[in-house]
Amino acid sequence: MAEKLELDLSLVLPEIPDERDACVERLTKLLQAEGLEKVHLVREDGGARLCLHYDPRQFSVSRVRELAQAAGAKIGSRYRHESLRIDGMDCPICATVIEHALTRMDGVLEASVSYAAERLRLEYDGEKIARPTIVRRIQALGYAVLEEGREAGWFAEHRELILSGVAGLLLLAGWLAGLAGAPHALSLGLLLGAYAAGGFYTLRDAWQSVKSRSFDIDTLMIVAAAGAAALGAWEEGALLLFLFSLGHALEHMAMDRARKAIEALAELAPRTAIVQRDGAEIEVRVEALQRGDRVVVKPGQRIPADGQVASGNSAVDQAPITGESMPVDKQPGDKVFAGTVNGEGVLTIEVTKLAQESTLARMVTMVAEAQTQKSPTQRFTDRFERIFVPVVLVGAVLLIVLPPLFGFPFAESFYRAMAVLVAASPCALAIATPSAVLSGIARAARGGVLIKGGAHLENLGVLTAIAFDKTGTLTIGKPEVTDVVAVSGDETRLLTVAAAVESRSGHPLAQAVVTEAKRRGLTWSEAGEVEAVTGKGVRAEFDGKKIAIGNGKLFEGETIPDAVQQQAARLQAEGKTLMLIRMDGQFLGMVALADTPREDVKQVLERLHQTGIRKTIMLTGDNERVGRAIADAVGLDEVKAGLLPEDKVKAMEELAQRYGQVAMVGDGVNDAPAMARATVGIAMGGAGTDVALETADVALMGDDLSRLPFAVALSRASKRIIRQNLWVSLGVVALLVPATLFGWAGIGLAVLIHEGSTVVVVINALRLLAYEDQPSAL
């Protein structure tokens, strides 16, 4: 019979972005080729794990482990993952040019470029191609690869605006020279200079597109400018290239604002830390910190690394990571995160994660990666452009050729064709979605919500129902005393007796009773002769009297007074767990406990309904009575109880059939299969658990459900802005094409409106950076 061995995936393949990466499939095939019976991925015990089935007669446990680690090392050294910062892209088509060029290189397995984020997500086979070769190919296209943390220089950052300004000045000078009657050669020379300055980057991008056998917006502009020159309309051609380059420069500057909102995340962590070593305090770079180091954080300073408080008490502002509006009190043993701000006390923190492993570092990486994942709308507009641009070129050719056959003047026909090329260029359409996605994800990250891509941002906005795990998501995840009911004597005496006996037990229910007694300021002497009765309760002696505390099973065969039975029936109907308490044969009363709802869950659900969520559903492994009690208390619409993890997956499938787009909110561990089946998987507490960060499509960084309505509302706002941008971009094309076709608008007016619409679309998208957590914010 085969045996099984489970290994953490992160140990076998430490560098893969997530468990959906193609390297996981490569690993399973390689291990099965080694003779293992079956290799597959499971989620349990806090993360993704590799499950290996093997014949113990052929392999020992240590040999299986060696095979897995050797295979992982082999794949990790061969298949490389990179996230590169690209400089020099001045339009969305640049991203397509780079993608096309790289994907045709032998050994490049994936190349996805985000113009909005200036990022390239790359996977390549290290045995077939080296990183420097890929970088040289990018540089040959006219772009640069920036090392992380290094910014382009001032000129490099503003070069397009500078050249555009030069083009504008030369155009003005050429036009004035013509008006003043200067020699034609001087006027023409100035206009040629305007052509060169305004068309420099446009010509470069158009040439790269043609070389990659694709036609884009830059191609249309160059053809139109060349056509204007052929007609002798040098001023209009120069104006076209000037306005086109100016529009792109302004668009680029606006997009930089959104990019900097994301890059600002990386600046939250301090560069250095004060470390206690060999009895002294020394300052070291954060990258040099090791696990176990103790760092001193003074009032007002940012915490340099993830860790736990070793000594000191202070309130810490965690808003940069979790989005929490109020500082959180920290004491020894509590977790803290890099980038958060210490309050008025001095904290000594024991480092638990290296700089590159911190929650903040992983947030920055994931947000950067998220920009390279195209949303459904962006994929649609990309497909539309690939068809639309060649159609426009063919239409322009027909417009040049056909009218003269029917006696229409060739020069007029040619001019109109060039004007149509300008009018039909879908610049605004190309940037409409990426700009909104970039701004939306940046705003979400600033609000403590990590959204892992444009698809998830859009999908959040179309949800009709949300399913919640109960324990730890809707509830606080541990029992609390809800009722102390005395039928003989008073509550104080009842709770004192219960706490005296239960203080001798480590059971969660017992600890909850002790916590409640301490909260009320009660004190007690120690109980003796404590005897635990498994599954029933406990017996002990207290103040010389026999005490019995437990559930109904502890008192089977005994007479329980009607008053006690009536109170017990009432509390059990509310889904609560009971402890009956008897002293020397007389029932004193009972203590009721329950896993209580989070404080603000009811308000969260109300806000979700206000944002357009029609149904909220609980999925729980608890019984129907317990689940229904919580659901009624917080205002949930439905309860599905008694579910095993596999049952939750089936429940999600059934909910998807009924409601369409359904999200699943859980802790990212036991709920991972159901979250994977959902339209959007949303994990709680991304700042506290690595698993939540890895498994979910969306992570609420604080263990705080109040961020969920914000995320849904922000997504709906993003959808509205994307829709507005599409209407503007397509509307301008729809109006300008007939206007230029029938001669109502020339090249100059067409390019002015065209570039104006592009800038309007970007500015509209940037409104998301200022989005406030209110239904009427946009």
* Residue whose pair of structure tokens reads 């009722």 in the numeric block: 483
CB 36 within 8 A of CB 52: yes
Question: What is the rounded distance in angstroms from the CA atom of residue 644 to the CA atom of residue 674?
Answer: 11
**Tokens standing for residue 414:** 């040619």
Q: What is the CA radius of gyration of the chain?
A: 33
DSSP-derived 3-state class of residue 408: coil
DSSP-derived 3-state class of residue 385: helix
* Residue whose pair of structure tokens reads 């109300």 in the numeric block: 606
Return the exposure string of 487-498: e unless at least 16 CB atoms fall within 10 Å of the residue's CB, then b.
bbeeeeebbbbb
**Tokens standing for residue 545:** 């009297």
On the CB side of 156, how many CA atoms lie within 13 Å of its CA? 13
Question: What is the rounded distance in angstroms from the CA atom of residue 391 to the CA atom of residue 397?
Answer: 10
Neighbouring residues of 66: CB distance < 8 A, sequence distance ≥ 6: none
CB 595 within 8 A of CB 574: no
**Tokens standing for residue 380:** 């649609």
**Is 632 designated active site?**
no
Quick one: three-class SS letters along 696-741? Answer: CCEEECCCCCCHHHHHHHHHHHHHHHHHHHHHHHHHHHHHHHHHHH
DSSP-derived 3-state class of residue 335: strand
CB 687 within 8 A of CB 672: no
Specify which residues 329 forms β-bridges with. 315
Residue 633 burial (CB count, 10 A): 17
**Tokens standing for residue 662:** 């359904």
CB 541 within 8 A of CB 529: yes
Catalytic residue among 218, 306, 317, 469: 469
DSSP-derived 3-state class of residue 452: coil
Quick one: three-class SS letters along 543-597? Answer: CCEEEEEECHHHHCCCCCCHHHHHHHHHHHHCCCEEEEEEECCEEEEEEEEEEEE
Sheet holding 341-342, edge to edge: 328-330, 314-317, 341-342
Residue 1 burial (CB count, 10 A): 4
Question: What is the rounded distance in angstroms from the CA atom of residue 121 to the CA atom of residue 94?
Answer: 15
Question: What is the rounded distance in angstroms from the CA atom of residue 114 to the CA atom of residue 125?
Answer: 22
Cα 465 off chain centre by: 20
**Tokens standing for residue 174:** 């050429």
- What phi and psi values does residue 450 have, to the nearest 5 degrees? -100, 115
Question: What is the rounded distance in angstroms from the CA atom of residue 279 to the CA atom of residue 493?
Answer: 52
Residue 357 gets which letter from DSSP? Answer: G
DSSP 41-95: EEEETTEEEEEEEE-TTT--HHHHHHHHHHHHHHHHHHEEEEEEEEE---SHHHH
* Residue whose pair of structure tokens reads 């919500």 in the numeric block: 449
Residue 768 gets which letter from DSSP? Answer: G
**Tokens standing for residue 629:** 């009690």
- What phi and psi values does residue 599 have, to the nearest 5 degrees? -60, -40
Question: What is the rounded distance in angstroms from the CA atom of residue 198 to the CA atom of residue 241?
Answer: 5
Question: What is the rounded distance in angstroms from the CA atom of residue 53 to the CA atom of residue 39?
Answer: 6
Active site amino acids: 469
